Amino acid sequence: MKKSFKLQGLDCANCAGKIEKGIGKLDGVSNANLNVITCKLTIEGEESKMDKIIVSAKAVIKKYEPHVVVQSI
């Protein structure tokens, strides 16, 4: 299953790399891709775990970029 999000306010390429790496390590995630130019985050993972993955991914984002707004697209 694939989900995509827009990260409004993301302006740090280093933080984007940390976010992408952190989300990629979450249980059930097969791939995480964060394009710093478009601020689009794509998460691929197990459908049965996707709700938990999304909650955990938002926590990772807030850890590195607390001001970023996460929007489903």
What is the DSSP secondary-structure string of 7-65? EET---HHHHHHHHHHHHTSTTEEEEEEETTTTEEEEEE-GGGHHHHHHHHHHHHHHH-
Q: How confident is the model at residue 58 (pLDDT cuts 50, 70, 90)?
A: very high
* 62-73 pLDDT per residue, tens: 999 999 999 999
CATH 3.30.70.100 for the 2-72 domain, yes or no: yes
Average pLDDT over residues 29-34: 98
pLDDT of amino acid 18: 98
* 32-50 pLDDT per residue, tens: 999 999 999 999 999 999 9
User: Which tokens sit at 11?
Assistant: 């302006």
Query: Domain locations in the chain?
Result: 2-72
What pTM was estimated for this model as a whole? 0.93
